[in-house]
Amino acid sequence: MNIIRNNKLLKNKSVAGFILKPNCADIKDIYLDIKKIFESFDIAVLLEENSANELNLKTGIEFNTLCKQSDFLVTLGGDGTLISVARRGFHHQKAVMGINLGTLGFLTDIMPNEIAAFLEKFIQDKYRIDHRMMIKATINGEEVVAFNDVVISRETVTGMITLEAFVNERLFNKYTGDGVIISTPTGSTAYNLSCNGPVLYPLTDAFIVTPISPHSLTQRPLVLPADFKISFKNRHNQSAIAIVDGHDTYELKPNDIIIIEIASSKAQLIHRSERNYFDVLNKKLHWGAN
């Protein structure tokens, strides 16, 4: 069975748009060294303006302009940096290469000391692009995209919230507890995993609905097809919040509704062709360890 799909490669790869981990000025020398390596392979390097400002460089380009002028994007940081860029650049549909300066590295699998070896294969088209499902969430009429998850949670430490859940506008459950995680397959190894949700292969298309500290022990994680429209209504006289990818927070008043659907496009991640997802799980989660 072929479990790597949609592996259409880049037509052009002569211009790379770099976005660096924010608030990390000490990576300037690392960036400049990596820039030289890219240029040694005849790949021009553009730098996003916020990153340039943090490094006191005068060569920064506004993010949307950077996306338009680049053949692909490169993040220098950790998984969080890559997720942020995938969301910000969603409408530009640029493939993203993640260089890992973080610790976990589920998504950013290329280390700085591996860049030259990887680019040698990259220019020979010996790489792959993974297409990862994203979520479109409509919150109080505003549409946002999520790479990992949308979390609906109680606003305060005390008390519980009750959420009515609908599939294709038909009530299927009520969740009472601390909240609910709606995750993509990629996000299944994030907050969903810590709440005993299932791990899904990241190239599948599905929603994972995982209750957070449910009041009833009968409530269990649920996997739903990605072509379903899922809605959550904030019931009773209670306040709640919606958190998108652990970053953006939205207030939910009583009777507010969140609509969850598959996004119209997918995130595109550049990886080594030999990268194996199950090896990543084994290494990062210590599966099979004694």
For 197-239, the pLDDT digits (tens) are 999 999 999 999 999 999 888 899 999 999 999 999 998 778 8
Residue 248 belongs to a domain: yes
DSSP strand E in 85-225: where?
96-100, 127-132, 135-139, 142-146, 149-154, 161-167, 170-183, 206-214, 222-225
Could you tell me if 139 and 252 lie in one domain?
yes
Same domain for 278 and 252, yes or no, is: no
Handedness of CA 199, 205, 206, 207 (dihedral sign): positive
Annotated catalytic sites, by residue? 79
Is residue 52 left, alpha or beta, with left meaning phi > 0 and alpha meaning psi from -120 to 50? Answer: alpha
Name the pairing type of β-strands 15-20 and 72-77: parallel
Domain membership of residue 3 (yes or no) is no
**213 backbone dihedrals φ, ψ, rounded to 5°:** 45, 60
Statement to judge: residues 113 and 140 lie in one domain: no
> What residues make up the domain containing 182?
135-262
Q: Do 69 and 115 sit in the same domain of this protein?
A: yes
Spacing of C-alpha 166 from chain mean position: 25
167 and 270 housed in the same domain: no
Comparing 17-21, 157-161, 244-248, which segment has the lowest mean pLDDT?
157-161
On whether both 231 and 278 belong to a single domain, the answer is no
Q: What is the mean pLDDT of residues 43-62?
A: 95
Query: Is 72 in a helix, a strand, or coil?
Result: strand
Distance separating alpha carbons of residues 137 and 198, to the nearest angstrom: 21
Determine, yes or no, domain membership for 96: yes
- Are 167 and 217 within one domain? yes
Q: Would you say residue 290 lies in a domain?
A: no
Judge if 149 and 248 occupy the same domain.
yes
What is the C-alpha to C-alpha distance for residues 275 and 88, in angstroms, rounded to an integer? 26
Average pLDDT in the chain: 92
Same domain, 113 and 232: no
- What is the reported pTM? 0.91
Q: What is the CATH number of the domain that holds 142?
A: 2.60.200.30
Give residues with Cβ within 8 angstroms of 246, minimum separation 6. 148, 149, 151, 190, 191
- Does residue 1 carry a pLDDT above 60? no
Least confident of 3-7, 39-43, 210-214, 255-259: 3-7
Let me know whether 147 and 63 are in one domain.
no
Tens digit of pLDDT for each residue in 63-103?
999 999 999 999 999 999 999 999 999 999 999 999 998 67
Residue 154 and residue 252 share a domain: yes
* DSSP per-residue string spanning 251-272: EE-TT-EEEEEE-SS-EEEEEE
Percent of the chain scored above 90 by pLDDT?
Answer: 79
In a domain, 6, yes or no: no
147 shares its domain with 84: no
Q: Give how many domains the chain has, as a whole number.
A: 2
pLDDT for the residue 117? 97
* 107 or 146: which leads in pLDDT: 146
Q: Report percent pLDDT > 70 for the chain.
A: 96
